[in-house]
Structure 1
């Protein structure tokens, strides 16, 4: 029998870091952030973590809670597992869920339930006891049983769980059986489920969708069948190897459709599940189009994913998953056993953090609710006309701008496939921020390494734009450019993260 540890690629992470994350050029190193703040010290955040599949016991939750108490993600998506809660008709065992919800709360993390999947007590043809993907609306007698279960679940967690998502990826056959995918039938399932939850928790936040990718056709079918009347938020899972690819368009299309079908009440929009493997082979998710994955590439992807989602404007953002899913066979609908899911921030089996864990931790601590999305000016130019093809590429980094505690934050990166492992370069950046914000001591925070660099001088030694040139309206710096986010901000912002770094 293959042990979980045997499925983990043996990677020399230190060598990968040396190769892919050299010190940044053109800036002066002044320290490194070593975070000490626990998750409980962060008041609120849009950022969350996947904590699914415990209905199938696919990882050991007790080994993960200590890590979540340091991570800084404030939400966890948890599947409720009808099949595990009701193993005898009409009798419910919520003890295993109590342990999860209470342990997450102790770690400073709020639970969002994903109420999903079937029960072999009411679905005699399911091939496995977890009944993954089997939908109660297609079975005689299953809907009353499902309604009773959901209502009992809501009564039990009243006051502890306020966010309730209905089903998982109902728009693909892997999670919608035994009938063909149907937006109208999904809307009916959501109506039934939402009514049962709100009977016990009238102010519950009901999340619909949880769709694989954006799938506007499925959403339109569901909205025309009344989905908007049942939900307060809509979530979707835009998996892709280049995180930024078409993301704004997907967000805006879904935003428009939700607004058109709910003109008097804004329905929130979540990025509800998204992950990236830390190795090339031996896992379920090679369908993503991978050719050179490792722990450092995964860490780059995660930093880009979080910041792109925050830039686009999602109301909540979830990374999938806290830990690798490899302790039990991984199943979707049907009887096929899939390879493990190796997208965790934490290694399955050993439960040691991957390189990506500290990277995600830096992002969670810096981009909590004290950091707000703000449009600031950031113009990149390449001053080497001798290489025009490189200049064209370099002149268009991806930018996300924010403010925190009275200071601007400029996060930027080269949005190539992270598997290309683009070598660091330098580029001119012309920055403008409101005079209500201050940038007295500019520093650059490398989110992948935690290193902090002083940005000593603008390109113009006076620091004053040449107002005779109509193209110049900000302060120009020569900065490093990488294929992962670095953040230019004031030293006070970095010092305020409660780490050991001090400006010197």
Structure 2
């Protein structure tokens, strides 16, 4: 079995120094710390729209047994698992699902619901594949034997995992050549693959939920071609992967475009939309994903990015937000459809060389604990203002402000941040925030929670009634404004400190 030396790819970082450089010290800015947020184990969270990637185990890219204990603590309720035809069928007509059953059972044991990404090819039926994993090689192009073998394999998967796996995603990123071979990507042909695969799954699991798309970035021509070919007739969910170095950039437009096109072609059928894969490397170089436009990323930048990504997804309206990946992919050489060896994928929340949590892991824990389904998305009134109208900041400061509001346990939650590229490592500034809490909500003791540190701060003395045109329209707070989310809420939300 091929191996690599993971440690040779990991750069050393002075994490305390990076935190000091990039994370504001709110006590030094005059805010009194009153306690620390607690986090929940995954089994303690009833439901959530937040998940992580658990892919590539068909290619032995990490040791899952070393990851399950951390998954139990993380708080992510979903995991995307690739089924790996090439690993399941190494002799024609004989299937070994034991390795996959072990993954599913262990994830369920720690409170995580797995869903399948059914993929890829198999060299038994595809003699031209450059590597045994057959990544990206599509059974439609290998005659009746290849197509029939794929259907038999998927049918057997359904029989094995009936009652354990509810959601079945067809393929990964079929719109790019890295994962669609030997022909060129084609939306109509992908729709045919979904049709064939969905039918095989539903032979064993009639109520299975089929996830289509798994599309790389935003590809309107590919999407429209697939929809015209009848994709919506087969699917219950559409997923896509809007990778970008600034997580909020054009996100609402992409989400809304997908919703519109699905509605246009679905004939009234309601189809959910998932952000199905997205991540940020924890170092600038030495990995496979320098195509993201990276110039100065590190563990702290990744942690900021992670928090912004999930909250931006929830604001946009995605029914699922999946972070890629639970762990760096560096257990074996990484390959795509061309068969060539790539550098490792280093977007993980866990260091793939040491199996130790990165800084992003603890930040993701807080996001999962605070923004599970107990936090109901509700649009509350808020408005950002210049702290000094006579000497205003650059207009760009207000233009980059983003907020997303929720209600949890009768309390308002407002997360807000500066949407500047986190790699710019902008120092925190001050901003005035006007906030109106609905009359049915508890907001008597305002506090500020820092997702990066877990610390909670008293806002007594930092707010005053805001009067506009002789009307009281909320409270105005003078708050720090950082390139990572801070959360305005009520102290009663944290019984351990209130």
TM over 0.5: yes
Distance 2:185 2:24 in 1: 48
The answer as to 2:67 corresponding to 1:64 is: yes
Displacement of 1:396 after TM fit?
4.4
1:136-175 to structure 2, matched below 5 A, reads 136-140=139-143, 141-175=145-179
SS at match of 2:289: helix
Distance 1:50 1:377 in 2: 34
Distance 1:148 1:296 in 2: 46
CA-to-partner distance for each residue in 1:229-263, whole Å, 9 max, x for gaps?
Answer: 00000000000000000000000000000011113
Which residue of 1 is the match for residue 81 of structure 2?
Answer: 78
The answer as to 2:402 corresponding to 1:404 is: no
Q: Is the 8 A contact 1:400 1:412 kept in 2?
A: yes
Q: Is the 8 A contact 1:26 1:480 kept in 2?
A: no
CA-to-partner distance for each residue in 1:17-66, whole Å, 9 max, x for gaps?
Answer: 1111131224221122243x311111100000000000000011111000
The answer as to 2:12 corresponding to 1:10 is: yes
Q: Is the 8 A contact 1:170 1:211 kept in 2?
A: yes
Which residue of 1 is the match for residue 215 of structure 2?
Answer: 211
Q: Is the 8 A contact 1:26 1:426 kept in 2?
A: no
CA distance 1:396–1:282, change in 2 (3 Å): closer
The answer as to 2:315 corresponding to 1:311 is: yes
Which residue of 1 is the match for residue 135 of structure 2?
Answer: 132
TM-score, normalization by structure 1:
0.96
Which residue of 2 is the match for residue 102 of structure 1?
Answer: 105
1:262-411 to structure 2, matched below 5 A, reads 262-385=266-389, 388=392, 390-394=394-398, 396-411=400-415
Which residue of 2 is the match for residue 494 of structure 1?
Answer: 494
Distance 2:485 2:387 in 1: 22
Q: Is the 8 A contact 1:237 1:273 kept in 2?
A: yes
Distance 1:387 1:398 in 2: 22
| Unaligned runs of at least 5 residues, structure 1 | 496-500
Q: Is the 8 A contact 2:36 2:456 kept in 1?
A: yes
SS at match of 1:398: strand
Which residue of 1 is the match for residue 442 of structure 2?
Answer: 438
Distance 1:164 1:453 in 2: 43
CA-to-partner distance for each residue in 1:302-358, whole Å, 9 max, x for gaps?
Answer: 000000000111011100000000111111101211100000000012100000000
Alignment RMSD, CA only? Answer: 1.3
Q: Is the 8 A contact 2:375 2:407 kept in 1?
A: yes
CA distance 1:334–1:396, change in 2 (3 Å): closer
The answer as to 2:469 corresponding to 1:474 is: no
Distance 1:94 1:400 in 2: 42
CA-to-partner distance for each residue in 1:98-133, whole Å, 9 max, x for gaps?
Answer: 110000001100011000110000000000000000
| Unaligned runs of at least 5 residues, structure 2 | none
Distance 1:271 1:19 in 2: 31
Displacement of 1:446 after TM fit?
0.3
Which residue of 2 is the match for residue 47 of structure 1?
Answer: 50
Aligned match for 1:93, one of 93, 96, 106: 96
Which residue of 1 is the match for residue 239 of structure 2?
Answer: 235
CA-to-partner distance for each residue in 1:436-465, whole Å, 9 max, x for gaps?
Answer: 1121111111001111101113543xx3x4
Displacement of 1:468 after TM fit?
3.3
Question: Size of the alignment, in residue pairs?
Answer: 493
Which residue of 2 is the match for residue 190 of structure 1?
Answer: 194
| Stretch moving more, 247-256 or 6-15 | 6-15
Q: Is the 8 A contact 1:27 1:479 kept in 2?
A: no
CA-to-partner distance for each residue in 1:197-224, whole Å, 9 max, x for gaps?
Answer: 0111011110000000121211110011
TM-score, normalization by structure 2:
0.97
Q: Is the 8 A contact 2:278 2:322 kept in 1?
A: yes
CA-to-partner distance for each residue in 1:70-115, whole Å, 9 max, x for gaps?
Answer: 0000000000000000000000000000110000001100011000
